[in-house]
């Protein structure tokens, strides 16, 4: 449901199910039950779904930060 899909040309699209809009943001999160504190997972978000991802993760205590996603930079997963 939340993988960071890519178009055939390599551009990343929003991770929200059934959304094909370009990902403009990377929403960074961490599940402390599964990940070490410094680890960050990332979901790509379009302008319409950025808030949805932040609220979804925030309600679960998983959201860490949201950063702009430039086309020439990798996602901030670590």
Torsion sign over Cα 12, 45, 60, 78: positive
The pLDDT, as a whole number, for residue 46 is 97
Q: Which residues does the chain have with pLDDT short of 50?
A: 1-3
Kind plus residue range of the DSSP H or E element containing 67? strand 63-68
CA distance 59 to 5: 24
Whole-structure pTM value: 0.80
The pLDDT, as a whole number, for residue 11 is 77
51: three-class secondary structure by DSSP: helix
Which tokens is 36 given? 């070490």
């Amino acid at each position: 449901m939340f993988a960071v899909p890519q178009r055939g040309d390599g551009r990343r699209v929003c991770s929200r199910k059934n959304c094909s809009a370009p990902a403009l943001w990377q929403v960074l999160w961490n599940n402390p039950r599964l990940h070490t504190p410094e680890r960050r997972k990332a979901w790509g978000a379009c302008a319409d779904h950025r808030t949805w991802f932040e609220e979804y993760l925030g309600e679960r205590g998983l959201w860490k930060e949201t950063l702009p996603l430039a086309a020439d930079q990798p996602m901030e997963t670590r």
